[in-house]
């Protein structure tokens, strides 16, 4: 095809469209036409059960037997979807003679119109065509756009469509109308619709409609986003979309460079990560957190879309609650995008199911700096059998952890697994028994980030591992204590 196709969206409501063929391809085409409101006729000697059911329900009309050109009577469009090339060509030729547009599935030259790959968000449709020559490229582009365009775009389009006349009345000047749309699309209304808060979005629209450009000086928003454990493929679809909208990204030390590379290219990246666990006093931890609060407020008040990007999940030992309280207290709009927390990801990538019918009926997620004797933990409950213990932070005190668990009843032979850099290419897994936990971690020089799993399920890592190198099960000569550090 030497000339580009002319893009066109057809209104098929109540109009007759012929589908020739009675198989699964014809079923797919007929379904799409029904969604568009067309009167569908399907011509074929036999129909697959789903098409036959639609005929019985009165949703489509069946023209039985082999194709004849009279089937095209009253048709606005036709689709040839049989597995017989000669029949498909006959439909195309008959359509050409009758000036009826015909699409022949998988036959570019015979088609007078093409059905594009589509991304649908309510009334919004994006059609993609490669001219019929490279349909796989069109599919790839569609999949890319599917990840970038939020489902709430449809609700936004419906709201703006309903309010079209009011918008034109308030802003008869095209330039002023364009500035209004810029404010709406970059303001809180899309986020409210994304959160399912339709009434609030409607009220916000009403307020925005009567605001002047000066009065609408932007107040930004903050999204708390879980970056997952490091593998960028584990970032959620919503997380990816938010990263591509962000003006400013405040990220932790544990967020991998690969995840940061997914952010919008012109976004400002600010590293607010804390040093390794155990190296800060409580006062310094407080100071660092206060700086994060200050940065969030500063950039949001400047009208920026801020992402607070945290390793793992913001609500699992991530101080996400404290940060939301600070935003709420200062009237800053926010949302939360969960991430895959380290216990889930590290367990999965190490081949360790956190629960198992035979080995563990419960799971406990724990964080503690175990240098303090008054840590407040219920050690008797943590030492129970038939449960999995996932320790996030404070595991630099592995000797204390081991001693307390054994002291309160956990068997010294209980399996453990230390997962270093879980889900990342450099992942390492060290396994053994609780009695030798500290010594094996020291011998293998386990470093942050690492997660500790204690419980019967940890032994499954040796049989079920699938990612990276096999678990390190052999003991090594211990290294000097000065070179040993473990943290998550």
Any idea which residues carry the catalytic annotation?
A: 252, 274
Alpha carbon separation from 477 to 29, 351, 439, 442 (Å, rounded): 67, 27, 9, 9
> How far is 145 from 316, CA to CA, in rounded Å?
31
- On the 0-12 / 13-18 / 19+ scale of CB atoms within 10 A, 397 is buried
The string of DSSP letters for 349-391 reads: HTT--S-BTTTBSEEEEE---TT-TT----HHHHT-SSEEEEE
> How far is 422 from 413, CA to CA, in rounded Å?
24
Could you tell me which of 332, 342, 338, 333 has the C-alpha nearest to residue 320?
338
- On the 0-12 / 13-18 / 19+ scale of CB atoms within 10 A, 99 is exposed
- Tokens matching residue 453: 């799993």
The string of DSSP letters for 106-129 reads: T-TTT-SS-PPEEEEETTEEEEE-
Q: Tell me: cis bond preceding 347? Omega within 30 of 0 counts.
A: no
* Inter-residue contact 458 to 415 (CB < 8 Å): yes
Could you tell me which of 317, 292, 282 has the C-alpha nearest to residue 393?
317
> How far is 266 from 243, CA to CA, in rounded Å?
11
Would strands 450-454 and 415-420 be described as parallel, antiparallel, or unpaired?
antiparallel
**Cα angle 332-333-339, degrees, rounded to a multiple of 5:** 115
């Amino acid at each position: 095809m030497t000339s580009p196709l002319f893009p066109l969206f057809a209104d098929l409501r109540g109009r007759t469209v012929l589908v020739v063929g009675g198989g699964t391809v014809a079923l797919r085409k007929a379904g799409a036409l029904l969604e568009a409101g067309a009167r569908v006729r399907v011509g074929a000697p036999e129909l697959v059960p789903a098409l036959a059911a639609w005929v019985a329900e009165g949703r489509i009309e069946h023209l039985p037997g082999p194709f004849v050109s009279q089937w095209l009577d009253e048709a606005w469009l036709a689709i040839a979807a049989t597995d017989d090339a000669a029949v498909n060509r006959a439909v195309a030729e008959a359509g050409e003679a009758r000036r009826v547009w015909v699409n022949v599935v998988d036959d570019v030259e015979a088609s007078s119109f093409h059905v594009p790959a589509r991304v649908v968000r309510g009334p919004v449709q994006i059609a993609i065509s490669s001219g019929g020559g490279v349909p796989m490229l069109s599919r790839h582009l569609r999949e890319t756009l599917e990840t970038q365009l939020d489902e709430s775009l449809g609700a936004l389009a419906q709201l703006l469509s309903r309010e079209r006349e009011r918008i034109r009345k308030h802003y008869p000047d095209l330039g002023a109308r364009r500035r209004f749309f810029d404010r709406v699309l970059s303001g809180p209304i899309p986020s409210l619709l994304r959160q399912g808060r339709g009434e609030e979005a409607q009220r916000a629209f009403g307020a925005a409609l009567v605001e002047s450009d000066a009065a609408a000086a932007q107040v930004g928003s903050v999204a708390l986003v879980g970056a997952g454990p490091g593998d960028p493929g584990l970032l959620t679809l919503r997380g990816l979309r938010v990263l591509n909208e962000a003006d400013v990204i405040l990220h932790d030390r544990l967020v991998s460079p690969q995840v940061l590379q997914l952010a919008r290219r012109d976004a400002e990246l600010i590293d607010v990560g804390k040093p390794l666990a155990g190296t800060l006093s409580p006062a310094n931890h407080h100071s660092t957190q206060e700086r994060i609060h200050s940065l969030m407020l500063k950039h949001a008040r400047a009208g920026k879309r801020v992402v607070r990007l945290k390793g793992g999940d913001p609500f699992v030992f991530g101080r996400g609650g404290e940060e939301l309280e600070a935003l709420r207290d200062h009237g800053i709009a926010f949302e939360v995008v969960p991430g895959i927390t380290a216990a889930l990801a590290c367990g999965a990538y190490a081949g360790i199911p956190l629960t198992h019918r035979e080995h563990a009926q419960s799971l406990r997620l724990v964080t503690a700096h175990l240098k303090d004797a008054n840590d407040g933990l219920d050690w008797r409950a943590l030492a129970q059998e038939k449960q999995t213990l996932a320790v996030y932070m404070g595991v630099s005190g592995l000797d204390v952890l081991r001693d307390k668990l054994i002291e309160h009843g956990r068997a010294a032979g209980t399996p453990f697994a230390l997962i270093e850099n879980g889900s990342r290419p450099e992942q390492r897994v060290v396994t053994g028994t609780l009695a030798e936990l500290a010594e094996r971690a020291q011998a293998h020089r386990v470093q942050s980030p690492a997660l500790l799993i204690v419980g019967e399920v940890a032994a499954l890592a040796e049989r079920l591992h699938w990612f990276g190198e096999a678990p390190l099960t052999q003991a090594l000569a211990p290294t000097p204590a000065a070179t040993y550090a473990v943290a998550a």
